[in-house]
């Protein structure tokens, strides 16, 4: 007996999309380890196309906060929506934020399509354009399906708290329960699929340059901190175990140091203070080969 089609979409697809996102970011981080200036040059274009004005950023932030809050605190949402006018206020506010995000997404798509074509085409820029187009398409599908579902399927903030929130919790605990969402209306399922598809495509977009720059800076700070912490250990090794493995007092020079060879060239005798040391022994100079 074949499994329900929603089993893959709501059991395996979320984990697969998150894995693709993590692997993609790690691969881009490794590939750009010595190209941080080139990555930073992409930030202005990514900011202009994807982020836009402060109003657009605020709309995206409110939408993300609303979704995260509904998933983390479903009991609080249910308690708030028990009063009818509370439910209507919450639904109206969510729909208004969704409209603002839809406008911002359309603006981003317009700027992406109208972006001036560089004088010289390259495979890298072509793949970036394709990834940006796919990412914006998934975003628009997710936002549009969410708005239409909010308009046609009323009081979604109430029933989502007992369907989508438990399903998300089951994913976090590693025991996915697709039965919570696989029988929901098509618009809701499309909304969830498009959201995870956008997450999977995200590492290949120009918008991913922001976390890449932050990760590079974080790794740089961690590297400097580790180097500072390792200096006392290295100094202790040189003074302790290192001095026993390589005792300077017992070093014998097998070949005359280069500086002594240069000072004892034919026809040139070094001064007495270079020829005599304590007890009349020749002074050892740094350099040369020793054991």
Through-space distance between the first and last CA atoms of the chain, rounded to whole angstroms: 77
- pTM score: 0.74
Q: What is the pLDDT of residue 274?
A: 53
Residue 105 contacts residue 136 (beta carbons within 8 Å):
yes
Token pair for 274: 């270079």
Taking only the tens place, the pLDDT of each residue in 138-174 is: 999 999 999 999 888 888 888 888 999 999 999 999 9
User: Closest Cα partner for 13 from 123, 234, 141, 167?
Assistant: 167
Token pair for 74: 């479903």
Q: What is the pLDDT of residue 255?
A: 55
According to DSSP, residue 33 is labeled: T
How many angstroms separate the CA atoms of 26 and 203, rounded? 9
Taking only the tens place, the pLDDT of each residue in 118-137 is: 555 556 667 878 889 999 99
How many angstroms separate the CA atoms of 199 and 269, rounded? 77
Q: What is the pLDDT of residue 115?
A: 72
What class is the 12-222 domain?
mainly alpha
pLDDT, the chain, mean: 80
Token pair for 19: 């894995």
Three-state DSSP class for residue 205: coil
Domain ranges within the chain, ordered by starting residue: 12-222, 251-291
Q: Kindly tell me the sign of the dihedral angle through the C-alpha atoms of 199, 204, 207, 208.
A: positive
């Amino acid at each position: 007996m074949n499994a329900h089609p929603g089993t893959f979409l709501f059991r395996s697809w979320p984990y697969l999309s998150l894995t693709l996102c993590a692997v993609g970011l790690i691969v881009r981080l490794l590939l750009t380890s010595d190209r941080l200036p080139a990555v930073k040059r992409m930030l202005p274009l990514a900011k202009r196309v994807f982020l836009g004005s402060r109003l657009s950023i605020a709309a995206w932030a409110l939408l993300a906060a609303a979704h995260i809050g509904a998933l983390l605190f479903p009991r609080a949402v249910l308690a708030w929506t028990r009063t009818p006018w509370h439910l209507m206020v919450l639904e109206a506010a969510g729909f208004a934020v969704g409209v603002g995000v839809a406008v911002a997404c359309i603006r981003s798509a317009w700027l992406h399509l109208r972006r001036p074509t560089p004088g010289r085409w390259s495979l890298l820029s072509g793949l970036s354009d394709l990834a940006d187009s796919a990412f914006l398409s998934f975003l628009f599908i997710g936002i549009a399906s969410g708005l239409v579902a909010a308009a046609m399927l009323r009081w979604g903030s109430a029933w989502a708290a007992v369907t989508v929130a438990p399903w998300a919790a089951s994913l976090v605990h590693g025991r996915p329960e697709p039965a919570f969402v696989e029988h929901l209306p098509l618009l809701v399922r499309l909304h969830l699929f498009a959201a995870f598809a956008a997450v999977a495509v995200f590492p290949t977009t120009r918008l991913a340059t922001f976390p890449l720059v932050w990760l590079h800076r974080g790794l740089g700070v961690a590297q400097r901190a580790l180097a500072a912490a390792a200096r006392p250990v290295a100094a202790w090794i040189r003074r302790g175990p290192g001095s026993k493995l390589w005792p300077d007092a017992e070093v014998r020079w097998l070949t005359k140091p280069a500086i002594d060879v240069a000072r004892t060239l034919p026809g040139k005798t070094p001064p007495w203070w270079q020829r005599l040391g304590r007890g009349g022994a020749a002074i050892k100079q740094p350099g040369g080969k020793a054991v």
